[in-house]
C-alpha cells in the first residue's frame, strides 16, 4: 500500500495546551521553542529502576522531562509497561526500535511480527515519536543494513505496514549520526520527504570535543531544504579536561535559539565503560550539572509536558 505524503512543516497543526495532540502523523510540533527530554540509563531494565533513574535525572536538572526515550530491540514487544508508565506521567514518548537484516525484511518474512508491533502502537492511542533503526550509518551495522538502498527499501516496507493498520499516531523519525553528515555517509540513507515525519541527528562531542555548532552545521545545511521538524535524538558530552563539559553544554544552550527548525532535544545519560563515546553522565561533575541544568531550564526549552 502506498504511503500518503506527510504534511509540510507549515501545514502541521500547532501543539495545544493539555495532552499532546496528534497531527495524524504523530505529535503536533511545538509552535515556538522545543521540547527537552532524555534517555536515562539504569543498571537494569526493571521498570521501577528505570523510573527511579528518570526521577533522579529530573531532580538533578530541576525540571520535568517533556520527552522520554525508550529503546527496544527488534524482537521486543512494545509499547512496554515502562512506555505506558512514561506516558501516564505526562511524557511524550520516543521509541527507538532497532532493525534487523534489511534484505530479510523486504522478503516479507517479518511481516506478521511488524504488523503486531504496528497494531500495538495504534492501540496505544497516544502520539509518539518512532525512531526506526537509528544511526543506520554506523560502520558496525553494515552487516545488517548492507547499503543505503537496502535500508530505504526496508524502511518503506515497515512503514507501509504501519500505514496499512492505521498506526498514524506514530511520527517516523530518521536519525543518523551528526558526524555522518560531515563526510557524506548519512545522506544516502534518507528514505524521502514522503516517508519521514521528523528529521533527526545524534550529536556527541567525542574525544575531539567538537562543539555542538561544528557538529550540527552540515546537518542544518542539509535539513533546511526539507520542510520537516528536526530532533536531536541523542546528545551527550564525554568527560575531558576540567570545564570542557560545561563549556560544551553552554555553547549548545546559546546555539539552540538560533535554529528554530530544532523542535526537541534528548540528553543521553549513561555510564558505559566499554563505549567511552557514550559515557555521558555528569552527576559527579558539579560545573557540568550546572551547565546541563541551565540548558534544560532555558526559556527556549521550558515547555512542560503536554504544553
- What pTM did the predictor assign? 0.90
**Structure confidence at residue 42 (pLDDT):** 86
Q: What is the pLDDT of residue 1?
A: 39
Q: Which residue has the cell 557540568?
A: 288
Residue 237 · residue 245 · CB < 8 Å: yes
Q: What is the pLDDT of residue 272?
A: 67
Looking at residue 132, what DSSP letter applies?
E
pLDDT in tens, the chain (307 residues): 343 343 333 343 333 323 466 667 889 898 889 999 999 998 777 889 999 999 999 999 999 999 999 999 999 999 999 999 999 999 999 999 999 999 999 999 999 999 999 999 999 999 999 999 999 999 999 999 999 999 999 999 999 999 999 999 999 999 999 999 999 999 999 999 999 999 999 999 988 889 999 999 999 999 999 989 999 999 999 888 899 999 999 999 999 999 999 999 999 998 865 566 678 899 889 999 999 999 999 999 976 554 4
- Output the nine-digit C-alpha cell for 232: 536531536
Query: What is 195-226 written as a DSSP string?
Result: T-SEEEEEEE-TTTT--HHHHHHHHHHHHTTS
Residue (of 145, 154, 67, 53) closest to 105 by Cα position: 154
Q: What are the cell numbers at 62?
A: 530541576
Residue 32 · residue 262 · CB < 8 Å = no
CATH code of domain 33-301: 3.20.20.80
User: What is the CA 253 to chain-centroid distance, rounded?
Assistant: 18
What are the φ and ψ backbone dihedral angles of 26, each rounded to 5 degrees? 90, -160
Radius of gyration from C-alpha coordinates of the chain = 18
What local confidence, expressed as pLDDT, does residue 277 receive? 63
Whose CA is closest to 282, among 246, 232, 241? 246
Burial state string for 231-243 with b = 16 or more CB within 10 A and e = fewer than 16: bbbbbbbbbeeee
Confirm if 180 and 139 have CB atoms less than 8 A apart.
no
Per-residue model confidence (pLDDT) at position 274: 55
d(CA 226, CA 260) in angstroms, rounded, equals 13
Active site residues: 135, 234
The domain spans of the chain are: 33-301
- The residue assigned the cell 528505570 is 50
Amino acid at each position: 500500500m502506498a504511503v500518503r505524503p506527510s504534511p509540510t512543516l507549515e501545514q502541521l497543526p500547532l501543539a495545544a495546551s493539555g495532552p499532546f495532540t496528534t497531527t495524524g502523523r504523530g505529535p503536533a510540533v511545538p509552535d515556538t521553542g522545543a521540547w527537552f527530554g532524555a534517555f536515562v540509563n539504569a543498571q537494569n531494565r526493571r521498570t521501577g529502576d528505570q523510573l527511579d533513574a528518570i526521577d533522579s535525572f529530573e531532580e538533578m536538572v530541576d525540571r520535568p522531562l517533556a520527552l522520554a526515550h525508550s529503546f527496544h530491540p527488534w524482537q521486543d514487544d512494545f509499547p512496554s509497561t515502562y512506555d505506558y508508565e512514561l506516558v501516564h506521567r505526562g511524557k511524550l514518548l520516543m521509541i527507538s526500535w532497532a532493525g534487523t537484516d534489511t534484505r530479510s525484511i523486504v522478503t516479507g518474512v517479518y511481516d506478521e511480527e511488524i504488523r503486531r508491533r504496528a497494531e500495538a502502537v495504534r492501540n496505544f492511542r497516544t502520539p509518539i515519536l518512532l525512531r526506526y533503526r537509528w544511526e543506520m550509518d554506523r560502520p558496525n551495522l553494515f552487516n545488517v543494513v548492507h547499503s543505503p538502498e537496502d535500508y530505504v527499501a526496508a524502511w518503506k516496507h515497515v512503514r507501509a505496514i504501519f500505514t496499512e493498520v492505521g498506526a498514524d499516531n506514530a511520527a517516523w523519525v530518521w536519525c543518523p549520526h551528526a558526524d555522518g553528515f560531515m563526510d557524506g555517509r548519512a545522506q544516502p540513507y534518507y528514505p524521502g520527504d514522503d516517508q519521514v515525519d521528523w528529521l533527526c541527528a545524534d550529536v556527541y562531542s567525542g574525544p575531539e570535543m567538537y562543539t555542538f555548532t561544528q557538529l550540527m552545521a552540515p546537518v542544518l545545511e542539509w535539513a533546511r531544504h526539507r520542510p520537516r521538524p528536526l530532533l536531536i535524538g541523542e546528545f551527550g558530552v564525554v568527560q575531558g579536561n576540567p570545564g570542557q563539559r560545561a563549556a560544551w553544554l553552554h555553547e549548545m544552550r546559546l546555539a539552540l535559539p538560533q535554529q528554530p527548525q530544532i523542535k526537541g532535544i534528548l540528553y543521553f545519560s549513561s555510564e558505559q565503560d566499554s563505549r567511552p563515546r557514550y559515557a555521558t553522565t555528569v552527576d559527579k561533575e558539579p560545573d557540568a550539572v550546572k551547565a546541563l541544568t541551565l540548558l534544560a531550564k532555558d526559556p527556549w526549552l521550558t515547555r512542560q509536558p503536554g504544553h
